[in-house]
Amino acid sequence: MSSPILPEEPQGTLSGAIATRETSWSDKQERFRDRYGPWAIVTGASDGIGREFAICLAEAGIHVVLAARRGEVLEALAVALRRDHAVCTRVVAADLGTVAGVETLLDGVATLDVGLLVASAGFGTSGPFIDSPLAAELAMIDLNCRGVAALTHTLGSRFARRNRGGIVLMSSLVAFQGVARAANYAATKAYIQSLAEGLRLELLPLGVDVVASAPGPVHSGFAARASMTMSMAVPPRVVAQQTLESLGRTGTVRPGWLSKLLESALMSLPRRGRVRMMSQVMAGMTRRRSPVGMAGLRQEQQ
Ligand SMILES: NC(=O)c1ccc[n+]([C@@H]2O[C@H](COP(=O)([O-])OP(=O)(O)OC[C@H]3O[C@@H](n4cnc5c(N)ncnc54)[C@H](OP(=O)(O)O)[C@@H]3O)[C@@H](O)[C@H]2O)c1
């Protein structure tokens, strides 16, 4: 096994660390590391699904770049990963919804041999679109779509040049149809789903695997930020594990039982029926919000 490339000394908002402890790897983890290592970038690593991705990757012996806005939370995770899993870490504190933030991250990984991008940073809004501040809706497009496009473009090119790598994009159960009360969020995830599907075929011959992960409700900070109430949510670890296991095997993974159940329930419906059903599911998650969207839904159903 080739020796890992070690990070440089800390610079600016970046910090690096070198781990030296001997660790033994299972065959599966070693194959994963050979294909997608030695370094992975995980955006949204300070919380929820991204945090679990970072832990799973460190468990597999992959060195991890942790990116999100809250640098101190990332630093604490980095310390734990180095201590528990003997991997190297680098922290990049950046707002990935801005051009400058994306550049900070790309500058921060320029000298690392990165083989995997996990783009998990994202957020949602809920309730009627026209009741939500426009700035929040546009910020969501900037983070969920523009930021992901920029990272995927630059890192996809790097991976293609080295004929090896992987890209994980966070789609959602809502990505496959319009959803009332999450209209713009669902649209951002439709963009991600579509990007991943097309990109997968473009990059496959170049040795780069792409997977879209489309979970249903997940226990994380997401629901609180989106003002939603989620029942039947799966732990973020389930999403991270099932997604990483699917990389290189399929183009779309639906982690968690609810996501799989709803997929089969929705499959036979025409698109209009899927829009209605998913809008009813979303109405149940946003019941405490203003009833404007519910009225719209009722009219649609009549
Ligand atoms: N939770 C669900 O039910 C669910 C279901 C389907 C898909 N997803 C998708 O899964 C992904 C992860 O969601 P989650 O459940 O893990 O949410 P979460 O617990 O709220 O975590 C979101 C992560 O994104 C980071 N982030 C937010 N805004 C950012 C910004 N402007 N710049 C950089 N980082 C930013 C947050 O860190 P900072 O606050 O430190 O920046 C945090 O680490 C999202 O793309 C989401 O759409 C979630």
How many angstroms is it from 23 CA to the middle of ligand 1? 31
Residue closest by Cα to atom 36 of ligand 1:
44
pLDDT of residue 284: 87
pLDDT value, residue 5: 33
**Measured between alpha carbons, how far is residue 211 from residues 26, 182, 199, 244 in Å?**
23, 23, 9, 9
Cα maximum dimension of the chain: 65
Spatial neighbors of 171 by CB under 8 A, at least 6 apart, are: 189, 192, 193, 196, 212, 213, 214, 252
State the average pLDDT over residues 166-189.
Answer: 97
DSSP 202: H
200 within 8 A of 216, measured Cβ to Cβ: no
Q: Is residue 12 predicted with pLDDT exceeding 80? A: no
pLDDT of amino acid 293: 43
- The structure tokens listed for 275 are 């829009």
Quick one: what percent of the chain has pLDDT higher than 70? 86
Closest atom of ligand 1 to 147 CA is 32
**3-state SS assignment for residue 114:** strand
pLDDT of residue 225: 87
CB 172 less than 6 A from any atom of ligand 1:
yes
Which of 49, 117, 168 for a ligand 1 pocket mutation test, highest count of atoms within 8 Å of Cβ? 49
Torsion angles phi and psi, residue 91, rounded to 5: -105, 130
| 87 compared with 257, residue with greater pLDDT | 87
Choice between 53 and 268, residue whose per-residue pLDDT is larger: 53
The per-residue pLDDT for 287 is: 61
Cis peptide bond N-terminal to 7, omega within 30: no
- Average pLDDT on 141-147 reads 98
Q: Which CATH number fits domain 23-297: 3.55.10.10, 1.20.210.10, 3.20.20.30, 3.40.50.720?
A: 3.40.50.720
- Gap from CA of 27 to ligand 1 centroid (Å): 31
> Given a cut of 60, is residue 153 above it in pLDDT?
yes
CB count, 10 Å around CB of 14? 21
CB 184 within 8 A of CB 143: no
- Per-residue confidence (pLDDT) for residue 288, from 0 to 100: 57
| pTM for the predicted model, two decimal places | 0.90
Neighbours of 69 (CB within 10 A): 15
Question: Which ligand 1 atom sits closest to the C-alpha of 219?
Answer: 1
Rounded to the nearest angstrom, the distance between the alpha carbon of 209 and the centre of ligand 1 is 22
